[in-house]
Structure 1
Amino acid sequence: MLPWNRIRRSVAALLLVATATLVPAATAQASDAPSSGWNNWSCKPSASHPRPVVLVHGTLGNSVDNWLGLAPYLVKRGYCVFSLDYGQLPGVPFFHGLGPIDKSAEQLDAFIDKVLDATGAAETDLVGHSQGGMMPRHYLKFLGGAAEVNALIGIAPDNHGTTLSGLTKLLPYFPGAEDLLSTATPGLADQITGSDFLTKLNEGGDTVPGVRYTVLATKYDQVVTPYRSGYLEGPDVRNVLLQDLCPVDLSEHLAIGLFDRIAFHEVANALDPAHAKPTTCASAFS
């Protein structure tokens, strides 16, 4: 007889390791006032950058660690930049984005209201990594967010779910595994290809009127699989494969969001398309 208990434990451990690669391990206490110039609640948008930018972390991330690269990059370019924590579970510090995604979208809604009140802006632009690029679509579609958002830029988002390189297809073979995942970490279960959450999210089309969408993907993504599942269809959508901009860029799921300045350059272009400059391998040095 096969040692099913041992196999179940092994698969569960493998799933946890795989999902842990969605974002880096937290190395700093998430806070409302990082020291690198963002979450400055006295910041007022300029005429050249009239909309504040809200950064939305990925699964197992937080408002600081996910943005140690991109937030200072945007602040240096004159943007008012803010980031939030969402999807917290009781007793789990630092590692967020694990709660039900529809509830996380409500947290995003409240945070954006706070940002707009503080800055006096009418709209914001959103930049999200992994789950953070997909979750805002619930806010846009079901919580009235389209009236408050000009653009959504997803960095390796799992807009149509992920198979985690096929690992999620093993869940039905292990009794109780799916129920355990849904109960303990609903934010993970919601991201599996074919979940009820994603089915509802994508019914009737991927986009809502009045919002510009940009998706940045990498063919080396080992978390959002297949990587094309991040792409969106609809008007005002631009799907970008990082390797089409720089063929030698080997960034995978983590790197594209954490420190890839080629991806950062394309984010800046998406935030200000009227002044966009071609993104090439040389953009890594700009």
Structure 2
Amino acid sequence: MHITSTARRLGMAAITLVATATAALGIATPQAAAAPARDPILFVHGWQGSASNWDYMWGRFLGAGYSVREIARFSYDSSQSNEDIALEMKSQVDALRAKTGAAKVDIITHSMGGLNSRWYLKNLGGLGSVDDWVSIGGPNHGTEVANGCLDVSCVEMRPGSAFLTDLNSTDETPGQVNYGTWWSPCDEIINPDESTILSGAANTRTLCLGHLSLLASATVFEGVRNFVK
């Protein structure tokens, strides 16, 4: 026992000596990577949109101090089902977490992006990887405008569709995710306008703004930025 104790003391002394010498030579001691100070953000566009729909908000978030490394956006084929798009989103979330070292991300969506992202949360294990989720002008309970199109994803946006019935069943805002929505009483695409509202979410009515104008509103940006802080 005495020999073991002595060896332990000598070992600790050697470690201290190495650390002291390293500091004296100005050599940095390796440290574990620090966790991000805030959640990175993934932007998800809507039907027939693209990553460029987020140009305004992208610039505003950069101006608010976010780095390009902390925010991501992607374009997807909106003619496919929302379930398939949700699989793409899962890959995007996983990649953003791996790049930043973040345990969770925030997701900001526009229009149909709210549906495929909710499918990801509910059915693809996303609840453990997302902190804050935002729907801007989302057809969360369908839109009558979708009655005039035939794409699979658009049919899924029709009020009462099998997809929406499944998505909204049991709990519209499951898990520990913070849900927030922004909807406009003048949205020409989301009819009825209140379709965006979700039970269990922080629902915000905006000024009279069009569907795309919601993405270029300074007021909406400020509200969303404060929500995901």
Match of 1:201 in 2: 167
Dislocated runs of 4+, deviation >2 Å: 44-47
- Following superposition, the deviation at residue 76 of structure 1 comes to 1.6
- Is 2:103 the partner of 1:145? no
Q: Distance in 2 between matches of 1:102 and 1:134?
A: 9
- Contact preservation (8 Å) 1:45, 1:51: no
- Is 2:106 the partner of 1:125? yes
**Secondary structure at 2:139's aligned position in 1?**
coil
- Following superposition, the deviation at residue 46 of structure 1 comes to 4.7
**Secondary structure at 2:114's aligned position in 1?**
helix
Q: 1:190 aligns with which of 156, 181, 184?
A: 156
| Mapping for residues 97-116 of structure 1, pairs under 5 Å | 97-116=78-97
Match of 1:265 in 2: 222
Q: Distance in 2 between matches of 1:199 and 1:124?
A: 27
Q: Structure 2 regions of 5+ residues with no counterpart?
A: 1-33
Change beyond 3 A, Cα 1:155–1:119: same
After TM superposition, the score normalised by the length of structure 2 is: 0.80
Amino acid at match of 1:239: N
Q: Distance in 2 between matches of 1:122 and 1:195?
A: 34
After TM superposition, the score normalised by the length of structure 1 is: 0.65
Match of 2:59 in 1: 72
| Mapping for residues 228-239 of structure 1, pairs under 5 Å | 228-234=194-200, 237-239=201-203
**In terms of Rg, which structure is larger?**
2
Count of aligned pairs between the two proteins: 193
Q: Distance in 2 between matches of 1:78 and 1:139?
A: 28
Change beyond 3 A, Cα 1:45–1:217: farther
CA RMSD of aligned residues (A): 1.6
Amino acid at match of 1:67: W
**Secondary structure at 1:69's aligned position in 2?**
helix
Q: 2:71 aligns with which of 81, 97, 103?
A: 81
Worse overlay, 75-84 or 50-59: 75-84
- Following superposition, the deviation at residue 45 of structure 1 comes to 7.6
